[in-house]
Amino acid sequence: MSKDFQVVMLASGSKGNAALISTDSQRFLVDVGVSCRELVKRMREAGAEPEQLDGVFLTHEHIDHVKGLATFAKNYRVPLYASEGTWRALWQKYPALARDNCRLTGDSMLCGDVRVDSFAIPHDAAEPQGYSFTWRSSGCKCTYVTDTGYITPTVREAVCGSDVLILEANHDVEMLKNGSYPYDLKQRILGMRGHLANVTAAQLLLHLPQLPRHVILAHLSEQNNRPQLALATVQNILDSKKRLPETQLFVAAQNSIVSDFPLQQLCIF
């Protein structure tokens, strides 16, 4: 990716999610799923300060995506964007949440040189959304889609044309089925409003007319997946159709930052 366009996964997994998406002049955060203190620490590791953010975009109200939101909203005057349903759910769960900077997303909105498109995703939340960020001056596009039970036509359309794709690869189906989770939880994860399996993520990529130059596999389950397994599954499926050379794959991590562009020699695991 060009030097003025970078994605840094600050945290990704069942215990917390946050991603920093930047150009040379603008910075956006997707989700605040770790404590505010930890979020700021990792942002600084990536060379960014909270005050420099042009906006924070929330996908939905589940704790692993909003854990640090209340403290962040109290400490920093940064615009916070989410769907109407997500805000209603958040205000019900956190009545003391500061509302001064809470704003509604539209289907498409301009933030400086960046167009942000939101799109519906199938997940068991109030009104969950994914996001595409498109830089008008360069045409570069980054799409963030996790917590998705299955690939809808809307999701597929949003992903098409992305230069960078942050894509859920939550679980290996056999690991989940044979694992220790209760039956109801297994059914929730496997359901139409649950999470994407490694194979499903690979199949989405396989059917794109053109693969993103960079794909970051995200939101891996600690219990039902492994970074090497997710990576190998997607690689093997793409390679079976001779499409692996079209893209570069990365795997996001729960406890360390991962970038799609060299950043202090970060490792994908």
Q: What does pLDDT average to over the chain?
A: 93
In the prediction, which pLDDT does 152 show? Answer: 98
Distance in angstroms (rounded) separating the CA atoms of residues 93 and 186: 25
In the prediction, which pLDDT does 4 show? Answer: 57
Distance in angstroms (rounded) separating the CA atoms of residues 31 and 20: 9
Distance in angstroms (rounded) separating the CA atoms of residues 111 and 44: 23
Residue 3 has pLDDT above 80, yes or no: no
Residue 69 has pLDDT above 80, yes or no: yes
In the prediction, which pLDDT does 259 show? Answer: 87
User: Residue 56 — φ and ψ, nearest 5°?
Assistant: -120, 125
Q: Please give the average per-residue pLDDT across 16-36, as a whole number.
A: 96
**Nearby residues of 116 by Cβ (< 8 Å), 6 or more positions away:** 28, 55, 57, 81, 105, 108, 109, 110, 131, 132, 133, 134
Strand order in the sheet with 248-251: 108-111, 114-120, 129-135, 141-145, 164-168, 214-218, 248-251
Residue 266 has pLDDT above 50, yes or no: no
Cβ distance 42 to 13 under 8 Å?
A: no
Q: Please give the average per-residue pLDDT across 207-234, as a whole number.
A: 97
Distance in angstroms (rounded) separating the CA atoms of residues 90 and 33: 13
In the prediction, which pLDDT does 214 show? Answer: 95
Distance in angstroms (rounded) separating the CA atoms of residues 41 and 49: 9
25 versus 28: the higher-pLDDT residue is 28
Tokens of 56: 């924070």
Distance in angstroms (rounded) separating the CA atoms of residues 141 and 135: 6
Distance in angstroms (rounded) separating the CA atoms of residues 24 and 197: 34
Categorize the per-residue pLDDT at 268 as very low, low, confident or very high, splitting at 50, 70 and 90. very low
Domains defined along the chain, listed by start: 5-259 (3.60.15.10)
Residue 202 has pLDDT above 90, yes or no: yes
In the prediction, which pLDDT does 150 show? Answer: 97
| pLDDT tens digit sequence for 144-174 | 999 999 999 999 999 999 999 999 999 999 9
Residue 126 has pLDDT above 90, yes or no: yes
